[in-house]
């Protein structure tokens, strides 16, 4: 597989000081790696000469940039999208979400995951971190659609054994696919006991699995953990030895300065979910502080029930606006920083070192997207990064490449019958809803 993206406006997302953050050029991909980042016609000609059959994509008037990385979601929950909105949290969980989940089969989850992955791919998401059940059943979905994934096998206090079996089965099924990694995903410090969290850590260490958890999401969680253990959630996880650079902590809304320092010292990766935090009224996470203090902060949508989509463009905009509002300061979380959260920082959550993923540079993994700027909401272009972060839409994404393979071509997923997928998803959602009503 050889591809040349010609005449693009390139946003490389590299860290090097003094380097242009946007430039015109061409990018060549050989196998699954970026082999060429060129600004001169001579370099392009030399690449074409040494790769005579390469596919050429003309990117005139278009942006080429790293694919977006969604570091926390429950993709299969697309089946429950807008099923129960504007309801208080515990009523929402007890009366709607959990009864619905109880009626879902592994096949239903794979179907919901399919819709979620399709939505993400068409919106320029090339990697996602998932946290749900029956992940071993979803390995095939990820493999087939060509996205990159870290699949977290989730559980509550009573279901660690089920999750362990799911994780081992998922590891086995994903063994031949470099794009898929498996993780262990205890739901949260208030829903999984100290003993089970400790057992989780041992299992993760034994099988070299990274972990993910919802952490300090709401004030109610702080109160519950304080009542149970007389401490705050971060202190609990630190005491249990769960904090490390292979842990993704989703939300982190209610962190004080000391807790932020603790997460930074342990290298924990923070996943910020601005829209979910707003919709569930959890609060505004101290993201500007975390970034200033040197934490690795990434961006995510959370599940389609608390968002209600898997659109990382909206998420970038919302994250920036929420920080500005909560700090009463328009200077915090500028466009470039939020774009870094959604790309280069996100790569860390996927287990890649700096420069290996989430950037346009020679030698990096070729997860790339082409965004069409010929849209009324993206013109004129005073600042292309601002236009993308503050005006960009998922539907502006035209081409998506993951691991050197083109998975979206001119806004279509080759070989996918979308109408059939919508029909199947509608039927499954209605069947489950009926079963819940009859219970």
Interface residues toward Zn ion, by CB under 5 A = 302
Closest approach of Zn ion to the CB of residue 213, in Å: 10
DSSP structure string for 210-230: -EEEEES-SHHHHHHHHHHHS
In contact, 260 and 215? CB cutoff 8 Å: no
Instruction: Give 275 or 343: the residue with its C-beta nearer to Zn ion.
Output: 275
- Axis-axis angle for helices 194-206, 160-174 (nearest 10): 20
CB nearer to Zn ion: pick between 44 and 73: 73
Kindly state the smallest distance separating residue 71's Cβ from Zn ion, in Å: 11
For CA atoms 32, 410, 58, 337, give the dihedral sign: negative
Sorted by sequence, the CB contacts under 8 Å of residue 322 that are 6+ apart come out as 274, 277, 278, 284
**101 vs 302, which CB is nearer to Zn ion?**
302
Q: Is 149 helix (H, G, I), strand (E, B) or coil?
A: strand
Residue 435 beta carbon to Zn ion: minimum distance, rounded to whole angstroms: 24
Closer by beta carbon to Zn ion, 302 or else 396: 302
Least Cβ distance, residue 80 to Zn ion (angstroms): 13
- CB closer to Zn ion, 35 vs 120: 120
Longest dimension (CA), the chain: 69
Residues 6+ apart with CB under 8 A from 407: 121, 145, 146, 147, 400, 401, 413
Residue with Cβ nearer Zn ion (302 or 315)? 302
- Tokens for 178? 């470099």
Beta carbon nearer to Zn ion, 248 or 429: 248
Do 424 and 60 form a contact (C-beta atoms < 8 A)? no
Strands 405-408 and 68-73: unpaired
* Least distance to Zn ion, CB of residue 73, Å: 7
| For Zn ion, the closer CB: 302 or 314 | 302
Q: How far is the CB of 160 from Zn ion (least distance, A)?
A: 18
Q: Smallest distance, Å, CB 214 to Zn ion? A: 5
CA distances, 390 to each of 288, 331, 339, 344 (Å): 18, 14, 10, 19
Report in angstroms how near the CB of residue 297 gets to Zn ion at its nearest: 16
Q: Are 183 and 244 in contact (CB under 8 A)?
A: no
> Nearest Cα to 346, choosing from 317, 316, 370, 320?
316
DSSP letter assigned to residue 247: E
Point out the residue whose Cβ comes nearest to Zn ion.
302
**Measured from the CB atom, is 302 or 337 closer to Zn ion?**
302
CB count in 10 Å sphere of residue 161: 12
Q: How far is the CB of 72 from Zn ion (least distance, A)?
A: 6
What minimum distance in Å lies between the beta carbon of 159 and Zn ion?
A: 16
For Zn ion, the closer of residues 221 and 337 by Cβ is 221
Q: Alpha carbon 398 to chain centroid distance?
A: 19
Q: Which residues of 26-45 are buried (b: 16+ CB within 10 A; e: fewer)?
A: bbbbbebebbbbbeeeeebe
């Amino acid at each position: 597989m050889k591809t040349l993206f010609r005449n693009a406006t390139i946003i490389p997302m590299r860290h090097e000081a003094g380097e242009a953050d946007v430039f015109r050029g061409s990018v060549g991909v050989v196998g699954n790696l970026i082999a060429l980042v060129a600004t001169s016609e001579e370099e392009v000609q030399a690449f074409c000469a040494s790769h005579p059959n390469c596919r050429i994509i003309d990117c005139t008037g278009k942006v080429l940039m790293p694919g977006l990385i969604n570091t926390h979601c429950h993709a299969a929950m697309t089946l429950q999208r807008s099923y129960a909105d504007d309801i208080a949290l515990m009523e929402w969980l007890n009366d709607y979400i959990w009864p619905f989940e109880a009626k879902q089969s592994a096949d239903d989850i794979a179907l919901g995951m399919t819709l979620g992955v399709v939505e993400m791919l068409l919106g320029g998401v090339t990697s996602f971190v998932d946290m749900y059940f029956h992940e071993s059943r979803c390995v095939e979905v990820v493999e087939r659609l060509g996205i990159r994934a870290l699949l977290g096998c989730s559980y509550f206090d009573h279901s660690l054994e089920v999750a362990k079996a799911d994780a081992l089965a998922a590891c086995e099924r994903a063994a031949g696919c470099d794009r898929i990694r498996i993780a262990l995903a205890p739901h949260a410090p208030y829903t999984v006991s100290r003993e089970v969290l400790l057992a989780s850590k041992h299992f993760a260490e034994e099988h070299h699995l990274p972990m993910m958890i919802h952490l300090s999401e709401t004030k109610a969680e702080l109160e519950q953990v304080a009542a149970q253990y007389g401490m705050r959630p971060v202190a609990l996880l630190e005491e249990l030895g769960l904090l490390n650079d292979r842990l993704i902590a989703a939300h982190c809304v209610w962190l004080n300065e000391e807790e932020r320092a603790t997460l930074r010292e342990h290298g924990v990766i923070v996943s910020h979910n601005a829209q979910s935090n707003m919709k569930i009224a959890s609060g505004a996470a101290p993201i500007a502080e975390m970034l200033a203090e040197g934490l690795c902060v990434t961006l995510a949508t959370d599940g389609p029930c608390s968002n209600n989509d898997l659109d990382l463009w909206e998420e970038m905009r919302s994250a920036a606006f929420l920080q500005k509002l909560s700090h009463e300061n328009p200077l915090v979380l500028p466009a470039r920083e939020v774009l870094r959260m959604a790309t280069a920082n996100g790569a860390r959550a996927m287990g890649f070192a700096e420069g290996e993923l989430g950037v346009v540079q020679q030698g990096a993994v070729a997860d790339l997207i082409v965004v069409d700027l010929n849209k009324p909401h993206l013109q004129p272009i005073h600042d292309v990064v601002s236009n993308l972060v503050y005006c960009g839409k998922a539907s502006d994404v035209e081409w998506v490449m993951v691991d050197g393979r083109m998975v979206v071509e001119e806004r279509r997923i080759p070989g996918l019958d979308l109408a059939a997928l919508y029909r199947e998803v509608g039927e499954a959602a209605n069947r489950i809803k009926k079963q819940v009503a009859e219970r």
